A and B are shown apart, each in its own frame.
Chain A
Amino acid sequence: MATEKINMPQLGESVTEGTISSWLVAVGDKVNKYDPIAEVMTDKVNAEVPSSFTGVIKELAANEGDTLQVGDLMGYIETEEGSDPGTTDAEPEKEKQPAANQEQEASSDTSMKKRYSPAVMRLAQENDIDLQQVEGTGKGGRITRKDIEKLITSGQKPGHAAAESKKTVQEKAKEPEKSSESQPAAKAGDIEIPVSGVRKAIAQNMVKSTTEIPHAWMAVEADVTDLVSYRNKLKDEFKQNEGYSLTFFAFFVKAVAQALKEFPQLNSTWAGDKIIQHKAINLSIAVAKDNELFVPVIKNADEKSIKGIARDINDLAARARAGKLTSEDMQGGTFTVNNTGSFGSVQSMGVINHPQAAILQVESIVKRPVIINDMFAARDMVNLCLSLDHRVLDGLIVGQFLARVKEITENINAETTKVY
């Protein structure tokens, strides 16, 4: 059983309405398909309206004498067949619903923000309006002619003059980048290497760090003769037992972690109106691969043994060279220790790994004549160079920190320091 609608049919061309002159059925009557149910009069024809269904008349929705538009409801009929779901009126409504939702979703889209119509361009030029600063209400954030007209009538047009100050600030910040861009084009035989990926990221980070952070430098010289003999005594056995090398660098990282625990001021970040001092001591180490540079992190270095640090260094370096570092490996560093000595460098000025507050360069260990007790002695000497964020740190505290690192490293030997 299903209830079907009887609608006013189209009774001839140009006929748009019909008047019911008489009903030929009453509620409760049984009718067959094509049986006449009403006489309808139009100004063109008088006709009988046939039933479209077999069933029982359930309701008559119009009275005799009523004029109905074509398609208007005349009544209901109860049929024996199942209703065809395709003919229900609710259908088109349902279809409309998702479309409306889609439109709402699309409103956050700004793909059309910089597509200017001819009208918008003309009005912006005539009225000296900076379109960059206009909010668009059109599709995809497009600025419509009406948006501009509203601005003009409201008198709040953002002219280019007002934008000047904002622009110069932006330009200043961008300048270093621009100057490198404005270098001369390559001559014949030169190789042009497109800047992309990691190289681009390095460039951006370095520019950011050097333009934002006021760098200052300091260096101390440490006598690590004992450390060298201690490490040289252990290294072959260590390599045999553990499967990886016990490097000098692991000792320095450990020393730095220990000193940072005592001088947390260096383990911090400049955050505009405050300085954040980090609890965790996560040391970034620089690992080079071809022309790429990665700074993976040894997490909680202060809690690790020298062996643990050596293993982390070995593991991170191996994965960096295999291109298998994850972003997780590179996040969370609070201070950087850079092994510049591995390149043979004896002095360098590191660029701070933004947003950290300092970077320590461990230079090459060099055997040099040193005067001890007015006598020359051949000692293993190393320079420890530190770059500091002068907003966060001053010479006093950094000097104390470096003195502490020097003290620790100069006193590493079999008695004081355990590898495991």
Chain B
Amino acid sequence: MPVMSYIQAVTSALREEMERDEKVFILGEDVGKKGGVFGATKGLHETFGEYRVLDTPLAESAIAGVGIGAAMYGMRPVAEMQFADFIMPAVNQIISEAAKMRYRSNNDWNVPMTIRAPYGGGVHGALYHSQSVESIFANQPGLKIVMPSTPYDVKGLLKASIRDNDPVLFFEHKRAYRLLKSDVPDDDYTLPIGKADVKREGTDVTVITYGLAVHFALQAAEKLEEEGIDTHILDLRTVYPLDQEAIVEAAQKTGKVLLISEDNKEGSIIGEVAAVIAENCLFDLDSPIKRLAGPDIPAMPFSPTMEKYFMINPDKVEHAIRELAEF
């Protein structure tokens, strides 16, 4: 089995889906000749040509709008937002059109589109290159939001997103692109959207999180194991709609729950996770539900010291888990 980085898994999934289904095409800024600013679509332009890998103008609203139109005509567009931060001009298209199309047309029309966007901080990218935007879309029925944490999950879930008959937002952590490497099968496989995944079995503290924070939690758990603290880690993988069954099961497992998000704390995905636990697990809880997230300030700072303060990291996660374990 080849070892792939997170971004190589993205490219691999795109290539395989384009080979498998000729209705799949890519559009976005610099995705063609340049192969994407991070290199996610590297080599696809050469292989599939300019009609299947489209360089678009700097107009995110148009990228989403063109995608929606093509999808309604039976194509399977994979649109790339260069940075998740730049998705804002396309919000109207995504929320008012893509998400609602099936419902308002009484099943006559649907939008089998995937929108990929790199998100997340800790890369010294400051305001326009560090945001987590998932919570903006996380109360829009009709949308699905996938945020994978490993190269293996990236490939399986991106393929599933492309094959899904409704719009999927696929957020990739840009710091994970070259940081995370793992075995990824060469063959065709998909992973179910809407299903969380236990990344580590444990009995002392349950961590529920997604994206890069899964990696931080795994690192912290490994360290804490030496102290005899046994951490259970649930990777949400799909943050909307949530896998409530898996959340409840994971919370019940230890009764001590730490929720982690890189997003600003108030109104983030994990607030909803906390609500699910509160509704279902009162008599299993052994401690208050704890949240670890970014501070409620407008943007990821540029100053390295300030960025470090804003970002979650393995040390912060370790500290939070230990606090719960000792409670």
Is B290 in contact with chain A by the CB < 8 A criterion?
Answer: no
Question: Contact check: which of A10, A13, A118, A138 meets B285 at CB < 8 Å?
Answer: A118
**A119-B283, A119-B284 known; A16+B255 contact, CB < 8 A:** no
Please give, as numbers and ranges, the residues of chain A lying within 8 Å of B123 by CB-CB distance.
10, 13-15
Q: Which of A47-55, A139-147, A309-317, A360-368 contacts B (4 or more CB under 8 A)?
A: A139-147
The B-contacting residues of A in range 101-129, CB under 8 angstroms, are 103, 117-122
Please give, as numbers and ranges, the residues of chain B lying within 8 Å of A121 by CB-CB distance.
283
Contact B178 A43 (CB under 8 A): yes
Contact B327 A142 (CB under 8 A): yes
Is A44 in contact with chain B by the CB < 8 A criterion?
Answer: yes
Which of chain B's residues has its CB closest to A147's CB?
A: B286
Is B177 in contact with chain A by the CB < 8 A criterion?
Answer: yes
Is B125 in contact with chain A by the CB < 8 A criterion?
Answer: yes
Contact A119 B175 (CB under 8 A): no
Inter-chain CB contacts under 8 Å: number: 62
Chain B 260-294 against A: per-residue CB contact (8 Å), 1 yes, 0 no? 00000000000000000000001111110000000
Question: Contact check: which of A10, A13, A138 meets B326 at CB < 8 Å?
Answer: A138
**A138-B327, A139-B327, A144-B327 known; A122+B177 contact, CB < 8 A:** no
Contact B327 A118 (CB under 8 A): no
Contact A13 B125 (CB under 8 A): yes
Q: What band does the interface of chain B fall in when counting residues whose beta carbon is under 8 Å from A?
A: 20 to 34
Shortest Cβ distance from residue A50 to the other chain B in the assembled complex, whole angstroms: 16
Contact B284 A13 (CB under 8 A): no
Contact A14 B175 (CB under 8 A): yes
Q: How far is the CA of A10 from the CA of B179 in the complex (A)?
A: 12
Interface centre among B7, B255, B286, B287 (most CB of A within 10 A): B286
Please give, as numbers and ranges, the residues of chain A lying within 8 Å of B7 by CB-CB distance.
14
**A138-B327, A144-B327 known; A118+B178 contact, CB < 8 A:** no
Please give, as numbers and ranges, the residues of chain B lying within 8 Å of A72 by CB-CB distance.
none
The A-contacting residues of B in range 178-205, CB under 8 angstroms, are 178-179, 203-204
Interface centre among B203, B254, B283 (most CB of A within 10 A): B283
Q: How far is the CA of A117 from the CA of B123 in the complex (A)?
A: 40
Question: Contact check: which of B124, B125, B175, B285 meets A117 at CB < 8 Å?
Answer: B285
Please give, as numbers and ranges, the residues of chain A lying within 8 Å of B76 by CB-CB distance.
none
Contact A13 B327 (CB under 8 A): no
Contact B178 A145 (CB under 8 A): no
What is the interface size of chain A, counting residues whose CB is below 8 A from a CB of the partner? Answer: 22
Contact B39 A118 (CB under 8 A): no
Please give, as numbers and ranges, the residues of chain B lying within 8 Å of A35 by CB-CB distance.
none
Question: Contact check: which of B178, B204, B286, B327 meets A15 at CB < 8 Å?
Answer: B178
Please give, as numbers and ranges, the residues of chain B lying within 8 Å of A144 by CB-CB distance.
286, 327
Chain B 163-179 against A: per-residue CB contact (8 Å), 1 yes, 0 no? 00000000000110111
Please give, as numbers and ranges, the residues of chain A lying within 8 Å of B284 by CB-CB distance.
118-119, 122, 145
Please give, as numbers and ranges, the residues of chain A lying within 8 Å of B255 by CB-CB distance.
117, 119, 145
Chain B interface residues (CB < 8 Å from chain A): 7, 38-39, 118, 123-125, 129, 174-175, 177-179, 203-204, 254-256, 282-287, 326-327
**A–B complex contacts, Cβ < 8 Å, 26 sampled:** A10-B124, A13-B38, A13-B174, A14-B38, A14-B175, A15-B123, A16-B178, A16-B179, A42-B178, A44-B38, A44-B39, A103-B326, A117-B286, A118-B282, A118-B283, A118-B284, A119-B284, A121-B283, A122-B284, A138-B327, A139-B326, A139-B327, A142-B327, A144-B327, A145-B255, A145-B286
